[in-house]
A and B are shown apart, each in its own frame.
Chain A
Amino acid sequence: MPEITRDEVRHLADLARIELDDAELDHIAPQLSVILESIASIAEVAAAEIPPTSHAIPLTNVFREDVVRPSLTAEQALSGAPASEQQRFSVPRILGDEQ
């Protein structure tokens, strides 16, 4: 049966920039294992002739014409930004503790 370890959850949380303390890890790791088990039981039912599904609707090739549409103004684009400077989004230092 698939099982997700505490270390794997910690690693995934790290990748997703979600801070989890030890108590939360203890709580979430078994829950995720249960979810994986449930998914695995579906995989047992699915026979070889059933292709994996990633979309609910069987559509392909939905394309857009290559025609320019008006963009936002810079003011509109930046209106939701916590901070901006020189008409650009200001973001915190990118290389943090690890460097």
Chain B
Amino acid sequence: MTESLISYDDAIAAFDPAMGLEVHVELNTNTKMFCGCAVEFGAEPNTQTCPTCLGLPGSLPVINGRAVESAIRIGLALNCEIAAWCRMARKNYFYPDMPKNFQTSQYDEPIAFDGYLDVEVDGETFRVEIERAHMEEDTGKSLHVGGATGRIQGADYSLVDYNRAGIPLIEIVTRPITGAGAKAPAVAKAYVATLRDLLLGLDVSDVRMEQGSMRCDVNLSLAPKGSEVLGTRTETKNVNSLRSVERAARYEVSRQATLLTDGTSILQETRHWHEDTGVTTSGREKSDADDYRYFPEPDLVPVAPSREWVAELKAALPEPLRVKRARLQTDWGFTDLEMRDVVASDAVVLIEQTVAAGTTPQAARKWWVAELTRRANSDGVELTELPITPAQVAAIQALVDAGEINDKLARQVFEGVLAGEGEPAAVVASRGLAVVSDDGALGEAIDRAIEANPDVAEKIRDGKHAAAGALIGAVMKDMKGQADAGRVRELVLEKLT
């Protein structure tokens, strides 16, 4: 079926997509939502559990106050109303990722609701309406044993680690995003990227998609162009990178358009996104899975944030993302076009951190937007996933500023750092990349260049300093690029004039 999908362009010419995005964010509290267990990523299995998060008889949950505070701040930053009174609810289902046989969540009383987030695509602003943001807890992690490649299908049994069970989670749900047409997948990606930067600014989560602290489900349906009626939607799970959000949405547009064009109806189902093959496949058909029999959690009393507390939290929010970006653009002296490229490359925060580490904005932009974005694209990864930090980029630029390496050598240092060869200074040393500042060695190379290009040397002697470029080029080639071109120029002119 994959080969016979109609193209995205053809699909979008005939149909209008409507999208809903559900983003789950793990909070960066010290402890879990309902107990005092630590929440460190990567701990040994089942070392961060207690009777409460294991659901043992007689244990009682108590809400983490800081998680509530983070939830309210997220709601406020998303321009939401904050509930004056709301309850936690039990979502009942039998699945071993929750040892209690229910997940403590919120049902019809979310702590935050009716907000919006403005996102930018190609200089155009789209307002994404937020339906709700509610508090819940994360589930355990399963390893599937037997069967093919660790998948749940065909597994003989599963092994569960409950370290993650009970980590505070905020689920942010949008209203259907319509009217974006062909740009819908790009809007989805921009929404997730903007949301991530907003959460980073609030310092409420690590928002590391590759570590699962931010996860996205993409709901998508198609309607014939011009029709107001929403089509049957699919819910694609496991979309865990920014690129995948866009790719999965594009794939579903093509897939659904192909079915609809054939006169086949869309099945309302959960689908799984496969990063490697770039397709979605049908998940379990769960006809009665919506029957979670929610009811108010009897072990927890209602949450009723006072209006004073909410006002206090609102007053202390960091500046809104749009305001911040406008300020950064002014501070950095970037043109609108440069800033648009920075946003499109998803490099705003990276540049901010690089500048904070002492690099000029233009140099930070040059490396992140030109050099490293190209590298990320060719490797098929997110810019933020490249194994290089803003501090390392700043260190490389500092080496350039100190005259120890030039831009050309710097590119080799980037390669070395990305290849895991260590810190920039170590890469310079191990690869022998430092520019030759030894005037003796440079002098010999200049003598060789003058000898090989007597006519050029003559012109310079006659006062035509512009001709020096040819000699500098020859010297740089002789030195395999490991020379400071400025110093070479000085020495050439010194010798010939």
A residues sitting closer than 8 Å to B (CB atoms) are 11-12, 14-15, 17, 54-55, 57, 59-69, 71-74, 77-78, 80, 84-95, 98-99
Contacts and interface: CB of A to CB of B under 8 A. Distances in A.
Interface string B34-65: 01111000001111111100101000001111
7 contacts: A15-B291, A54-B87, A61-B305, A64-B31, A74-B45, A87-B161, A89-B99
A65 B65 CA distance: 6
B138 to A, nearest CB: 16
B277 to A, nearest CB: 21
Given A17-B94, A55-B302, A64-B65, A72 B158 contact: no
A69 to B, nearest CB: 3
A93 B46 contact: no
Given A15-B293, A71-B38, A99-B284, A60 B30 contact: no
Contacts of B48: 71
B131 to A, nearest CB: 23
Given A63-B68, A74-B45, 4 more contacts: A55-B302, A61-B303, A69-B50, A71-B38
A89 B301 contact: no
Contacts of B92: 15
Contact of A67 (B31, B54, B56, B63): B31
B29 interface: yes
Given A61-B304, A88-B143, A94 B95 contact: yes
A94 B158 contact: yes
A66 B29 contact: yes
B36 A69 contact: yes
A69 B47 CA distance: 12
Given A64-B65, A74-B45, A89 B159 contact: yes
Interface stretch (B148-156, B236-244, B370-378, B467-475): B148-156
Contacts of B155: 93-95
Contacts of B35: 69
Nearest to B86: A60
A74 B48 CA distance: 8
B80 interface: no
Contact of B46 (A62, A65, A74, A95): A74
A66 B293 contact: no
Contacts of A71: 37-38, 47-50
A8 to B, nearest CB: 11
A10 B80 CA distance: 41
Given A73-B47, A74-B44, A91 B298 contact: no
A62 to B, nearest CB: 5
B288 interface: yes
A8 B291 CA distance: 12
B159 A59 contact: no
B426 to A, nearest CB: 36
Contact of A62 (B63, B66, B157, B293): B63
Contacts of B29: 66
A85 B159 contact: yes
Given A61-B301, A62-B301, A95-B152, A89 B46 contact: yes
Given A74-B45, A91-B157, A94-B142, A66 B31 contact: yes
For the complex of A and B, the 7 pairs showing the least CB-CB separation, nearest first, are A69-B36, A63-B65, A88-B159, A66-B66, A54-B296, A60-B304, A91-B96
A57 to B, nearest CB: 7
* Residue among B63, B158, B304 having the largest count of chain A Cβ atoms under 10 Å: B158
